[in-house]
Amino acid sequence: MTTIKINKVKQTLGFFSMTIAWSLMNFFYSIYLVFKDGKADDIGVVIFWSGLFIIIAWAIFIIYPLHKLDHSRQIFKPTIFPFITTVYAALTYSIIVGGLFQSMELIMMFLPLALLTGLIFGLAYSLFIKSDKLVDFLNKRPIFKLVLFLSPAIILFFFLWVMPLIAPSVVFRYMPDQIQDKIIARTIPKFKVGDDIEPLKNSLPGYLDNIQNGKGNMMASMENFAFVLQVNCSKIIRLEYGKNPSDFDNTIYGKLEEKPCP
């Protein structure tokens, strides 16, 4: 692989490698939150701020080094480069976050995510620049460079819009609060009084865990949707919903749940 060909695509591959690192870091962190707390409510905040910090890091700390460094050097080997970028990511993250917030506690809180991002970036980039087929392809069809630069938007569109539509119950726990609310608003109206409660609980994993042993209730209000749900004998005995709590009677009637099961 000639240095000239690599030089023409290294910024593109660097940006795409950073996108992969950012995406996988958030993916793994979402899994960690679900394992730890049962849901990933805070992932939306992490996606936004990590994306902002990575854009700053890319512009200040990555573009110039990638431009100046000789990619034929041994440091770009897949067995070496990821460890260099892991340390570099920790340093970059500490400078940016420390400079903006001046909080050692905040730096230490998310330092593992920075280390993971640096490791994935280094591994992805070192593998990409070693791929003759990929480098040749981008040199022959430069229009695809635009696709790689649009990859963050494509990934967000797929993760935050497509997946909640085609597999809402699978991704529910891993979604930010706002997306969870939209899934709830689309799911609740699919059920009615007399339906078994278990299919609804399975459609919204972890959300209705307070309804146990086939009995319980829940009232919730979110943006543009609210509902009241009462369950007895594993059946939905009351379900009302609307855009606002004022659209229906949202009182919980305890006596409904006291009736003996047949």
- Single out the residue in 119, 142, 174 at which a domain terminates: 174
Residue at 182 is within a domain: no
Q: Based on the domain organization, do 13 and 114 belong to the same domain?
A: yes
Is there a single domain that holds both residue 101 and residue 228? no
Q: Are residues 92 and 148 in the same domain?
A: yes
Q: Which two tokens stand for residue 165?
A: 């539509």
Q: Are 33 and 177 in contact (CB under 8 A)?
A: no
Place of tokens 């940006």: 15
Pairing of strands 235-242, 216-222: unpaired
Which pTM was predicted? 0.87
| Residue 51 confidence (pLDDT) | 93
DSSP 158-208: IIIIIHHHH-HHHHGGGS-HHHHHHHHHHHGGG--TTSBHHHHHHHSTTTT
236 and 130 share a domain?
no
Q: Is residue 180 part of a domain?
A: no
Q: How many CB atoms lie within 10 A of CB 66?
A: 18
Q: Are residues 162 and 239 in the same domain?
A: no
Residues 159 and 200 in one domain: no
165 and 196 fall within a common domain: no
Q: Does residue 45 form part of some domain?
A: yes
Indicate whether 12 belongs to any domain.
yes
How is residue 59 written in tokens?
A: 């512009």
Residues 28 and 84 in one domain: yes
Is there a single domain that holds both residue 253 and residue 126?
Answer: no
Residue 243 lies in a domain: yes
pLDDT at 142: 87
Order of strands, sheet of 235-242, starting from the edge strand that comes earlier in the sequence: 216-222, 225-232, 235-242
185 occurs within a structural domain: no
Answer yes or no: is 38 within a domain.
yes
Domain with 83, as residue range(s), is: 3-174
Estimate the crossing angle of helix 104-129 against helix 43-57, to 10 degrees.
Answer: 60
The pLDDT, as a whole number, for residue 167 is 95
Tell me the pLDDT of the chain (262 aa) as tens digits.
Answer: 567 788 889 999 999 999 999 999 999 999 999 998 888 878 889 999 999 999 999 999 999 999 888 888 899 999 999 999 999 999 999 999 988 888 888 889 999 999 999 999 999 999 999 998 999 999 988 899 999 999 999 999 999 999 999 999 999 999 999 999 999 999 999 999 999 999 999 999 999 998 988 899 999 999 899 999 999 999 999 999 999 888 888 888 877 777 778 6
Locate the DSSP E strands across the chain. Answer: 216-222, 225-232, 235-242
Same-domain status, 169 and 67: yes
Q: Is residue 23 part of a domain?
A: yes
Question: What's the domain count of the chain?
Answer: 2
Last residue within a domain, chosen from 149, 174, 199 = 174
Same-domain check for residues 204 and 146 = no
Query: Same domain for 144 and 235?
Result: no
Distance CA 67, CA 9 (A): 10
**Domain boundary, last residue among 145, 174, 203:** 174
